[in-house]
Amino acid sequence: MDVSLSLRRTLFLTTLIGTVLVGSLACGRSGDSPSTDADADTTGPIPFTIEGRLAFIQDGDSTVTIDIEIADTDSARERGMMQREGFPNDRSGMLFPFQKEEPQSFWMSNTPVALDIIFVDADSQIVNIAKYTTPFSSENYRSGEPAQYVVEVPAGFADSHGILEEDRIRWRRLD
């Protein structure tokens, strides 16, 4: 076999395998295929930054309050909890506020920790909870109803704190 042809085939196969591997590691938000946004590509764990507080409300009373990181840019939403070892404690979470209320979909392709994903409408009412999501899964977890906010918390949080559909949230950004 011609050495040049063998080298070209090897390069082609190496490039093809690399492309498939990189594409399979993408993770984030949306029902679309995982993005290749350079902002979402990082090396190593990403630290958790407390940017606000969020309370879960049942019958007008706060049941539990958590520290939140707020993913309010496209790159932060896309990155979410990927490449993170988890939350700093069991009363931490991530809030994804969106510009408008519409069906939302999240996946776990590059997320190493199981989560409860809580979908919340524009009136701050919980419309769906995806409990105990599977790490590194390509399954889409959908809101079912239109949602303007999504809250990610450690898996089991909703069950541990009695969080239910139709409960509400109230959140604020820290000064």
b/e burial code for range 89-100 (CB count within 10 A of at least 16 → b): eeebbbbbebee
- Give the pLDDT score at 75: 77
- Give the pLDDT score at 44: 64
Per-residue pLDDT reduced to its tens digit, 99-154: 999 999 998 888 889 999 999 999 999 999 999 999 999 999 999 999 999 999 99
Cα–Cα distance list, 79 to 55, 108, 127, 136 (Å) = 24, 10, 23, 13
Q: Both tokens of residue 35?
A: 């993005």
Cα–Cα distance list, 162 to 64, 132, 165, 167, 170 (Å) = 10, 14, 10, 10, 16
d(CA 169, CA 70): 14
* Mean pLDDT, the chain, whole residue set: 80
Which domain does 106 fall in, by range? 38-173
Between 73 and 118, the higher pLDDT residue: 118
Neighbours of 134 (CB within 10 A): 13
Between 10 and 71, the higher pLDDT residue: 71
Q: Both tokens of residue 85?
A: 């070892």
pLDDT reading at 38 higher than 50: no
Residue with tokens 């399954």: 139
- Give the pLDDT score at 43: 59
Instruction: Specify which residues 32 forms β-bridges with.
Output: none
CATH code assigned at 104 = 2.60.120.1140
- Give the pLDDT mean for 163-171: 97
Between 80 and 58, the higher pLDDT residue: 58
d(CA 103, CA 78): 16
- 110 part of a folded domain: yes
Please state which of the ranges 23-37, 52-66, 78-92 shows the lowest mean pLDDT. Answer: 23-37
pLDDT reading at 41 higher than 70: no
Compute and round to an integer the Cα radius of gyration of the chain.
19
The domain total for the chain is 1
